[in-house]
Chains A and B, each alone.
Chain A
Amino acid sequence: MEENKNAQTIEEKQYLIRFKADTESHLHVLSHDVCIEKCPDKLCTIFCPAEVYKWEDIRMHVGYEGCHECGSCRIGCPHENIKWEYPKGGHGIIFRLG
């Protein structure tokens, strides 16, 4: 019996979910300079449960397509540097079970 039918990495976990991504992001980093200058730990890249935020040299890449719409980044960003909205009606994550 295979032991690893359960999803272990975040990539495997995200792959289990259905998303209906909009063409436009519902998440906006207000200032990449704030991320560079004031946020050495880049906390959103750590606590985001879907690894939506990835730091790429000088700017924050926002993979909004995989967002769970939990709101953690809006509340947890220590510099209130994320503009957070709901995706357009019918878009975004679609849970089938839990």
Chain B
Amino acid sequence: MPEKFDVIVVGAGPSGTSCAYKCAQAGLKVLQIERGEYPGSKNVMGGVLYRKQMEAVIPEFWKDAPVERAIVEQRAWLLDKDSMVTTSVKNNSWEEEPCNNYTILRAKFDQWFANKAVEAGSLLINETVVLECIVEEGKVVGVRTDRPDGDVYADVVVLADGVNSLLAKKLGYHNELKPEEVALTVMEVLNLPKEVINDRFNVTDNQGVTIELFGDATKGNLGTAFIYTNKESLNLGVGTTLSSMIKAKMKPYELIEYVKNHPMVSPLIKGAESAEYLAHLIPEGGYYSIPKLYGNGVLLVGDAAQMVNGIHREGSNMAMASGTLAAETIIAAKEKGDFSEETLSSYKTAILDSFIGKDLKKYKDANHTFEEQPQYFKDYIPMINRAASSFLTVDGTSKRDKQKEALKTFTKEKGTFTVVKDLYRAWKVMK
């Protein structure tokens, strides 16, 4: 007789582990299955962990978890070839506990987090691929793994298998993803001594900085690059939608070199030593790409459920929140002794009522619009750079004329009507 669990969680990333942890804590019999050698060994993230949703799973986690630096400054760079217009928000109160957010290294963090679920009573099995869900009479009753005699049964299966959720696809919960629904991102971890990072980023030992780079960082394609500070390394990455990568015929590893060699970036990473190179897809289809989230005996969480807000670089927090909501749904279903589609449907309501559903809905048209209207990245960022640079170049022209000239730059190059139309369109999808 094969073993039966209350819950099987497929995947040991933030969404799966949040769910496993919460269920185990409530006394449910939980099995978590991870395909990697250890949790985190297949996972990649830019590196910003939001405190709030993690704290909802493990209070005061920062006292124990392997976090790198508390982020006190968030910069945005609008890059052109040899210039940039930047904004920054720095707030030293973000360093005071509970901090706003932290940088982390995922392979370290995920191991720690999954281990917490184990301590709470969840059983973790690594190095095991789930091949498919076992469906009996229209109900998911367990999973088939690639181990010998690898069938395991449970009342409910949680698919936390990430952006490439072959399991959800096999169940018919979504079609194959399209190249415009995913961002292909590559990243390098670059080692630098702590003091060098502190000097170059103007921070102290535990303070961290994030920089998002737009415009020339992706050669004008829809996407961003980023530089985040860890204790003694930087995470430097760049990504565009896979469709942009294809259209522009860019090689991701050449694009990251382009960023590293950009005159605004290279002084920050001078002398750094590459420690790791990573590639991953980010599900950025947003609201319209959300698959079927629940069925008889099954729930979808995290990246598998497309819970990423690409506009605000949020994902791990949505993963954790969705894992937590899934756990609450499961605990209530267990009390009822009913894991039918109808009972589990409260999960979808909970998602849509939470910040996840609200934020994804707010930006539902943003990505598609920017994909179809490339001028925001291709034209406006260089124009802003030219206008700002011209305004600040002292060449004997009066300030009034400079101001006029700078403002005229936009309408001269594009025409007033186009500019107004583009501004309206951007406002509409972001409002």
- By a beta-carbon cutoff of 8 Å, the part of chain A in contact with chain B is 1, 3, 5-10, 12-14, 16-17, 20, 41, 43, 46-47, 49-51, 68-72, 74-76, 80, 84-90, 92-98
Contacts and interface: CB of A to CB of B under 8 A. Distances in A.
B190 interface: yes
B308 interface: no
Instruction: Tell me whether chain A's interface is mostly helix, strand or loop, or mixed.
Output: loop
B246 interface: yes
A79 to B, nearest CB: 13
Nearest to B186: A49
Contact of B276 (A16, A70, A71): A16
Given A5-B271, A47-B251, A71-B163, A98 B278 contact: yes
Interface of B: 35-37, 40-45, 47, 105-108, 126-129, 145-147, 163-164, 166, 176-179, 182, 184, 186-190, 233, 235, 242, 245-246, 249-253, 257, 260, 269-281
10 contacts: A3-B270, A10-B253, A51-B251, A71-B164, A72-B279, A76-B184, A88-B146, A96-B41, A97-B107, A98-B106
Given A6-B272, A13-B188, A46-B251, A72 B41 contact: no
Contact of A17 (B242, B270, B276): B276
B223 to A, nearest CB: 13
A14 B278 CA distance: 9
A4 B117 CA distance: 42
A86 B161 CA distance: 11
A43 B40 CA distance: 29
Contacts of A7: 188, 274, 277
A6 B276 CA distance: 10
Contacts of A69: 42, 164
